[in-house]
Amino acid sequence: MEEITKMICITCPKGCTLDVTHDGQVVLKVDKGCKRGAEYVQRELTDPRRMVASTILVEGGIHPLVPVYTEAPFPKPRIRELMVELRRVKLKAPVQGGSVVLADALGTGINIIASRDMAED
């Protein structure tokens, strides 16, 4: 059934509010915004993803946690599961910023990356 949904595009800092006419996952029309906004809407209806930033425990480091991020947008419905998985991981200092601290998270092919160095205490 055709319906109109307001969606906020998060592709760029303008954050346009788009009026999306769609039938389930099929986009029929996007009012306002640009071509990238229309692409965002299509993705959001079929395979929504987000970049995720969090922290992971580090043993023997100068701080107990190191900040980490997904190297690519992660499937939105599985973010809660990812957070549980990240709580299970324990690293050992030193940790190098930019290194993969968890490969192929939840079998998605997306690696988790340390966003800074964590030296030994």
For ligand SF4, the closer CB: 16 or 113: 16
Radius of gyration of the chain measured on its C-alpha atoms: 18
Contacts of 100 (CB under 8 A, 6+ apart): 71, 111, 112, 113
- Taking the complex as a whole, the smallest distance from the CB of residue 71 to ligand SF4 amounts, in Å, to 22
Contacts of 103 (CB under 8 A, 6+ apart): 111, 112
Nearest-CB residue for ligand SF4: 37
For ligand SF4, the closer CB: 20 or 101: 20
Q: Which segments of the chain does DSSP mark as H helices, in order?
A: 35-46, 79-88
- Taking the complex as a whole, the smallest distance from the CB of residue 15 to ligand SF4 amounts, in Å, to 5
For ligand SF4, the closer CB: 14 or 76: 14
Contacts to ligand SF4 by CB under 6 A: 9, 11-12, 14-16, 33-34, 36-37, 40
Element (H, E) at 112: strand 112-114
For ligand SF4, the closer CB: 40 or 74: 40
